[in-house]
Structure 1
Amino acid sequence: MPLILPPARSLLWRSLRAYQVYGANTDVGKTVVTTILCKAAHRRWRNEDTVFLKPVSTGPADDADDRHIQKFGPEIATKTLFQYDLAVSPHIAAPASNKPVPSDETLLAEISIFAARQASRGPGWLFVETAGGVHSPSPSGSTQADLYMPLRLPVLLVGDSKLGGISQTISAFESLKIRGYDVEMVLLFQEADYQNHLYLGDYFGQRHGIPVRTVPEPPKRPDDQGSDVLAMSRYYNNSSQSAELHDMLGYLDDRHTDRISRLESMSSKASKKIWYPFTQQKHLTPDKIAVIDSARGDYFQTLVTTTPAVQDPAASTTTTSPNNKALLRPSFDGSASWWTQGLGHGNPNLVLAAAYAAGRYGHVMFAEAVHEPALALAETLLARMGNPRLTRTFFSDNGSTGTEVAVKMALRAARLRYGWDASEPLGVLGLQGSYHGDTIGAMDCSPPCVFNEKVEWYEGKGFWFDYPVVEYSGGTWMVRDPVTGRGRYSYPSLSAIFDLESRASSEEAQMYEHQIRTTLVRLAEQGRKFGALIIEPVVLGAGGMLLVDPLFQNTLVKVVRQNPQLFSKATARTNTPAEDDRAWTGLPVVFDEVFTGLYRLGRFSAASFLGVDADISVHAKLLTGGLVPLSVTLASESIFQAFESDDKSDALLHGHSYTAHPVGCQVALESLKEMQGIEARGDWDWAREAHKQSEGTPKDAAAWSVWSPELIDWVGRLPSSCVAGVWALGTVLAIRMASADGTQGYKGGAARGVQATLLEGHSHEGDSDWANVPQWNVHTRVLGNTLYIMAGLKSTQGSIKGVESQLHTALLKAKNESHA
């Protein structure tokens, strides 16, 4: 197995004041300014180390920036990680050399190791100087602004003091700001002709509260090299002793202390001022609140709880080890931030899309209006869904409200077709354990459960079917009986379970059809009236991360559509015109794809697993890649026509102040574009191929996952006293832990132990490179006895392997405890 590097981490130590020096352009004097800062820091803090780090340098080694600092500041420690002799951009110089081209992950890891070693030496300063401008490429081709973001080093931006430098400096700042960097100070030469520092001082000070400071211009370079060295030595000595320079460093020292102080106080303040969702706060102590400093890719950067440092009265500096430990660590976002995250935290393409729409529109009202992002998103979704029934798009702000809109649509269409009076109570058909959101209308579509049992206005309005679930256990894929929980049918692979064409004439299909039809006949005889069938395709999320037998859902939809007489009055028109084969029959079918849609399960639409199309489809969560709230409810023309009338009160009187907000629509467009690009490029082929080989099938597996077949098989063969069952599909992995006390459902606690072990994290014991760096961990949520972990759509194979390693350790611990 190839070496798996630890995830990139933010660099923050109490002992080490680390700053990253960016330039507004090439040739703006980055190295000159950095040399002055290094010499000034060394003069003021003589008992501390001051270090210069150049991650990537190009050009002859004799002219490299670290050699310049060694020449004029021999007291400064210097290091260049990757040096290429060719004086061109790193993305050209690296491949042209006979040296390996470091990946982004390797480069970040080398910087982290170096910084950790410096922090272990005690208090000091570290200045990390970039190459060229903000967007100059790295050896891999990534721009520096994107590459270095996970480090979250506060930035010192060296502005351009030349003609045109005002624009260059502001543009560089905006590129950094939009990526989440904190620019602490802008520095530039005090130039007499253009005086850019005066304009930029007002601009940054008034608009952003960022100080702009100047340093004297270096002397003109004489022809004689010896004279040049002497002149520059005097320049550095004089500049580094100035009171203004020492004030600058004092300001940066204070900012460093303030940042740490704020981070360490946040959990305590939050526990007193914030009301958390889905949380019993009586038991939520401050130490249990995760302080998230930033997020990038699959990872949060979270505060590590440390013991406060103790000052040694006999020494001039703090010497205790807690001072030298990193304060932040990567935490794998195992819940995908409540299922919204798919394209990575801080995705620059999504951020730029949001900024573009915000700058072009802000927000504009949407009733009887249209803008390009909304229209383009509607067109894209309707075309990409592959559902010929869907023709209309309704915008709302989240999955719950999107579902509530869908139910309004369906109930109106059913009432009008079947001639029911508006006062007659209508219910919905659904599945036990389903949950469609926290707004009252959506909540009433779910059966009684822990989420609604103490909600005063809740009135469950419907009937909910029991259903068989799918799990891997004891080396076999099983379809479990909904009542006994025992395996009723077994299959060689998950793909075989999703092969509905082969299963269509099976004993199971006949049994499902009989059970469903018998139930519907009984409900009709009781006089029950229903206006919609609403289901979460394939997987029930909040209900316990349950994988429903797709054959059951397929059969349920077909039986409902083929038996309109079970839902209508005897005198009502029960069939739609024969020429409209896309109109709904029986009941409008609503697919709640808020969780399961948009590649969460490996396909654009989860409905494609079921072989049946919805009349109404709801999408949110991954729609914007995890950046901003947005939901769409897609509907058929026959549903839309139920609201056509000369009376405005017959319209769908539903909306939100931020309906179809341009920022969300533009981000969703970019998100869909990136998702489809991932699929088109074959970025998941490594996972597909692994499952295809595991199943021994010559064609692509119908069901695949980024989680390895080896892991699923190993987990599924753990003792039943430890693990009751497991499944994985697309990005989702769900493990149902065995309950020692028999408690089931949301109140079960069997998964808490594994969750706690994952939160403890991976140890670096025995690895001297990472000895001073806290372990990374996996941040998860549980649903009762079920632990689930979700990857992102861009998660790498290496990242998945790392999480699987931690999960392996956690489950072994749970296994040993179950035998104790």
Structure 2
Amino acid sequence: MHELNQKDQSLIWHPFTPLLSESKPIVVTEASGVFLHTLDGRKIIDAVSSWWVNLHGHSHPHIAAAVAAQASRLDHVIFAGFTHAPAITLAERVLSILPKNQERVFFSDNGSTAVEVAVKMAVQYWRNRGIEKKRIIALDGAYHGDTFGAMAVGERGLFTAPFSDMLFDVNFLEFPNADREQRVIDQFKKLVSQGDTAVFIYEPLVQGASGMRMYREAVLNELLQIAHSHDVVCIADEVFTGFGRTGKYFASDYLEQQPDIVAISKGITGGTMPLSITSCSDKILDAFRTDDFSKTFFHGHSYTANPIACAAANASFEILTSEVCQQQISMISRTHSDFVTELTNYPVVSNARSRGTIMALDIKTNEGDSYSNALRKKIYPFFLERDILLRPLGNTIYMVPPYVITEAQLKAVYDSIREFLSKVAG
């Protein structure tokens, strides 16, 4: 074992990894484009964008230059009572592509905190107005992050079990599969008709961590219409789905009904630095427009709107909105769709699906579909041995590639999936 591996094993606690895990972390020395370069000389295709954050390929020169220039000019400044151009520019740019009802942004550090801010903002909205509404509704299978508020509005299960008796109450709707859409709508109507619902939070059209589960925009539109008619604050968790992942800038762009609050992170800096934004509509702002100090939104982070992170996000925005990048998103979406059609020919595959740059398939097993499905222990090493990073969600294989991936590289990953389906799953 290399010295770096030994030190890692004795010093570092890795996320979502048992301390006694038999697998040893792979030492990455550098990265470029879709490739991770390892200490032992391998080039691994990062087909999951390193937990869905890397939009434009690793070490993109435009983003790297923006980070370097900002670091030598202004590294950080307290964001209470001070401001700076990178944050202002980024706010203006992000609001230009968010749903049109979004008026202002609040900066924080990551997806969990973006959701935490959103939930706190929505709850305090009712308190500031002096209205007693406390019911929160979410979708079954939701994953909104790992801080306590984000855990509370997420599915109660493997990830949250040690803390279950410490989380606030939430009503969970069934996941709106095609065969239960009307039942979910009726369930939602019954809950909100009681008049005490404060918040409805959802991952629009795609639930990422629960297995890339996808549902139709028509049912979400109806749920949002019902929520708005009962004056329920709607939060769209676009942490994963934002910045082109579903084929449009945001999954909300597929909908007629729009959220009151939006949480975004992951792709915002192109996968370069931690940053997140929670945006809100003028309706939400109205409850905070007061000189009553007690109604201030008392939330903040030491690195709020860090100038270097904002500079990276501005550079990423410039790439994202370019014609070249939009053409790449279209190419990936089209190529995924064609592959999904082919996957229907494999008896071992169920529910092959895609939405924009997201592609997923479930492999039939006796265990059913779950994050803890034992098949994950075969999937992950199989693809790593072929220099492809595909980190499965149980028995779900998915791809969320950087937008710079070529059609040939996509097809190389598809070839390995075909091989897995034929040799291992078969």
Does TM, normalized by the shorter one, top 0.5?
A: yes
Aligned equivalent of 1:357, options 67, 70, 81: 70
Q: CA deviation at 1:434?
A: 0.3
Equivalent residue for 1:604? 249
Q: Hey, what's the Cα distance between the residues in 1 that align with 2:186 and 2:151?
A: 29
Structure 1 residues 54-99: Cα deviation after superposition (integer angstroms, max 9, x where no partner): xxxxxxxxxxxxxxxxxxxxxxxxxxxxxxxxxxxxxxxxxxxxxx
Q: Hey, what's the Cα distance between the residues in 2 that align with 1:330 and 1:398?
A: 28
Equivalent residue for 1:800? 410
Q: CA deviation at 1:685?
A: 4.9
Aligned equivalent of 1:707, options 336, 354, 365: 336
Aligned equivalent of 2:7, options 269, 274, 278: 269
2:363, 2:396 within 8 Å by CA — same for their partners in 1? yes
Q: Hey, what's the Cα distance between the residues in 1 that align with 2:52 and 2:9?
A: 24
Structure 1 residues 626-673: Cα deviation after superposition (integer angstroms, max 9, x where no partner): 000000111111211212332322101100111101011111111011
Structure 1 residues 436-476: Cα deviation after superposition (integer angstroms, max 9, x where no partner): 1111111111231211111266314211111333xxxxxxx
Q: CA deviation at 1:334?
A: 2.4
2:141 alignment partner AA: G
Q: 1:292 to 1:592 in 2, by over 3 A?
A: same
TM-score by length of 2: 0.94
Aligned equivalent of 1:300, options 27, 30, 36: 36
Equivalent residue for 1:438? 146
Equivalent residue for 2:217? 550
1:783 alignment partner AA: L
Q: Hey, what's the Cα distance between the residues in 2 that align with 1:513 and 1:705?
A: 31
Q: Hey, what's the Cα distance between the residues in 2 that align with 1:400 and 1:736?
A: 27
Q: CA deviation at 1:723?
A: 1.8
1:706, 1:731 within 8 Å by CA — same for their partners in 2? no
Equivalent residue for 2:59? 346
Q: CA deviation at 1:756?
A: 2.5
Structure 1 residues 223-244: Cα deviation after superposition (integer angstroms, max 9, x where no partner): xxxxxxxxxxxxxxxxxxxxxx
1:414, 1:532 within 8 Å by CA — same for their partners in 2? no
Q: Hey, what's the Cα distance between the residues in 2 that align with 1:603 and 1:544?
A: 21
Aligned equivalent of 1:588, options 217, 227, 233: 233
Equivalent residue for 1:616? 261
1:419 alignment partner AA: I
1:352 alignment partner AA: A
1:675 alignment partner AA: L
Unaligned runs of 5+ in 2: none
Q: CA deviation at 1:519?
A: 4.4
1:536 alignment partner AA: E
Equivalent residue for 1:171? none
1:735, 1:786 within 8 Å by CA — same for their partners in 2? yes
The secondary structure found in structure 2 opposite 1:365 is: coil
Q: CA deviation at 1:402?
A: 0.8
Equivalent residue for 1:376? 89
Aligned residues: 426
Equivalent residue for 2:379? 754
Q: 1:288 to 1:811 in 2, by over 3 A?
A: farther
The secondary structure found in structure 1 opposite 2:412 is: helix
TM-score by length of 1: 0.50
1:610 alignment partner AA: L
| 2:401 is aligned with 1:791 | yes
The secondary structure found in structure 2 opposite 1:608 is: helix
Q: 1:790 to 1:409 in 2, by over 3 A?
A: same
Q: CA deviation at 1:743?
A: 4.6
Q: Hey, what's the Cα distance between the residues in 2 that align with 1:706 and 1:396?
A: 35
Equivalent residue for 1:625? 270
Q: Hey, what's the Cα distance between the residues in 2 that align with 1:559 and 1:358?
A: 47
Q: CA deviation at 1:602?
A: 1.2
1:427, 1:462 within 8 Å by CA — same for their partners in 2? yes
Q: CA deviation at 1:804?
A: 1.2
Structure 1 residues 337-365: Cα deviation after superposition (integer angstroms, max 9, x where no partner): 11111111111111111111111111011
Q: 1:707 to 1:759 in 2, by over 3 A?
A: same
Q: Hey, what's the Cα distance between the residues in 2 that align with 1:785 and 1:686?
A: 27
1:354, 1:666 within 8 Å by CA — same for their partners in 2? yes
Aligned equivalent of 1:393, options 105, 110, 127: 105
| 2:317 is aligned with 1:672 | yes
Q: Map 1:86-485; keep pairs closer than 5 Å.
A: 264-282=2-20, 284-285=21-22, 287-303=23-39, 327-385=40-98, 387-417=99-129, 419-420=131-132, 426-455=134-163, 458-469=166-177, 479=178, 481-482=179-180
Q: 1:529 to 1:335 in 2, by over 3 A?
A: same
1:619 alignment partner AA: I
Q: Map 1:708-727; keep pairs closer than 5 Å.
A: 708-709=337-338, 711-719=339-347, 722-727=348-353
Equivalent residue for 2:365? 739
1:718, 1:815 within 8 Å by CA — same for their partners in 2? no
The secondary structure found in structure 2 opposite 1:345 is: coil
2:78, 2:302 within 8 Å by CA — same for their partners in 1? yes
Q: Hey, what's the Cα distance between the residues in 1 that align with 2:395 and 2:145?
A: 21
| 2:288 is aligned with 1:662 | no
